[in-house]
Amino acid sequence: MRTLNIDVSDSLVAQWVGWFAPLVQPFLASADLAGSVDEQTVGAPLTVEVRDTYCLYGLPSGLEYVWLSEAQFRSLARPQRAAFVRAQRSHGRELVPSVRAWADVVGDDARAQADGHRFVWWRSLLDGREEQVLKAYIEDGRLASRHHQVPEDVWDAAARRLPSARRHAGTFPPGSGPNCFGTVMAAAGIVGADAVWMLREPFEHWLAEKTRPGGDDDEPGTVLVWRSPDGLVQHAAVTLGADWVLHKPSQGWMSPTKVLTTAECKASSRGSGRRLQRYTILD
């Protein structure tokens, strides 16, 4: 499979299927809606990958998780199924697409699932359509990586300050967790930084120890740091030189480490109240 100009192994795609459409799904529900279910799976874990798939960052007040397998979901009366699907839409759980948008792919199956307007993804709907559906999900709203467009002399020049940048460019993480801070540090040669959820504190410590304030966007090794009004670092990327930037947009499993132009990276990293600062990696 190839998506966002990045080749993806069959084994990683198989993991994506499990994170995109887990065998047991968390549904956000009020107490009344949850109480309408006679049987649900108890104690199913909200893994970081499933959390990122559905954007479940904190349980909203007054709601609870109802964990259902596809068999349990389908055993519900259709009005119950419709109520659960509508609740996900109203409470902001992701991956509740419209039947109309997918009519040519899963039309009848999706239409019969709930209220005929919205549906949720189960393995049965993905069967035989994995690549088509996953590519659409991964590519929606995300810029493709331009790592293949970076000239050899740019990679060579960047290697002095960013010895591991080329190895990480154009790769998907093995799961959720690896983020922008760790990506910058890993590109600069910090072993293992790309494999963890790097917190602000160690990243700030690295900035203080290994960089100096200021930098030139056209030179390799300028760390671009976006801070919120309270001074907390919110995002980071690093220049490769010649108008190329390496960054990882988020900690999600669907977010690759990629190369963009400087303008593309800045545009995608903007946020209300954020200010951009620059640091240069020391030789």
Domains of the chain with CATH codes: 2-139 (no CATH), 147-281 (3.90.1720)
More confident residue, 107 or 70: 70
The average pLDDT across 231-245 equals 98
Tell me if the pTM is above 0.85. yes
**Distance set, CA 153 to CA 156, 220, 253, 280 (Å):** 5, 12, 31, 20
The average pLDDT across 65-92 equals 96
Check: CB of residue 7 under 8 Å from CB of residue 256.
no
pLDDT in tens, 158-211: 999 999 999 999 999 999 999 999 999 999 999 999 999 999 999 999 999 999
Residue 170 identity (one-letter amino acid) = G
Strands (E), 9-159: 24-29, 64-69
Q: What is the pLDDT of residue 40?
A: 77
Q: What is the pLDDT of residue 41?
A: 78
Is the confidence at residue 44, as pLDDT, over 80? no
Residues above pLDDT 70, as percent of the chain? 99
Q: What is the pLDDT of residue 16?
A: 98
Is the confidence at residue 42, as pLDDT, over 80? no
Q: What is the pLDDT of residue 168?
A: 98
Q: What is the pLDDT of residue 43?
A: 64
| Burial environment of residue 66 by CB neighbours within 10 A (0 to 12, 13 to 18, 19 or more) | buried
pLDDT in tens, 208-236: 999 999 999 999 999 999 999 999 999 99
The average pLDDT across 56-79 equals 94
Check: CB of residue 175 under 8 Å from CB of residue 49.
yes
* Side-chain-side CA neighbours of residue 252 (13 Å): 18
pLDDT in tens, 86-137: 999 999 999 999 999 999 999 889 999 999 999 999 999 999 999 999 999 9
Work out the pLDDT band at 49, boundaries 50, 70, 90: very high
Alpha carbons 34 and 274: distance in angstroms, whole number: 40
Alpha carbons 1 and 82: distance in angstroms, whole number: 34
Please list, in sequence order, all residues whose beta carbon lies within 8 angstroms of the beta carbon of residue 226, skipping any fewer than 6 positions away. 233, 234, 235, 236, 269, 270, 271, 274, 275, 276, 277
pLDDT in tens, 151-169: 999 999 999 999 999 999 9
Alpha carbons 142 and 157: distance in angstroms, whole number: 28
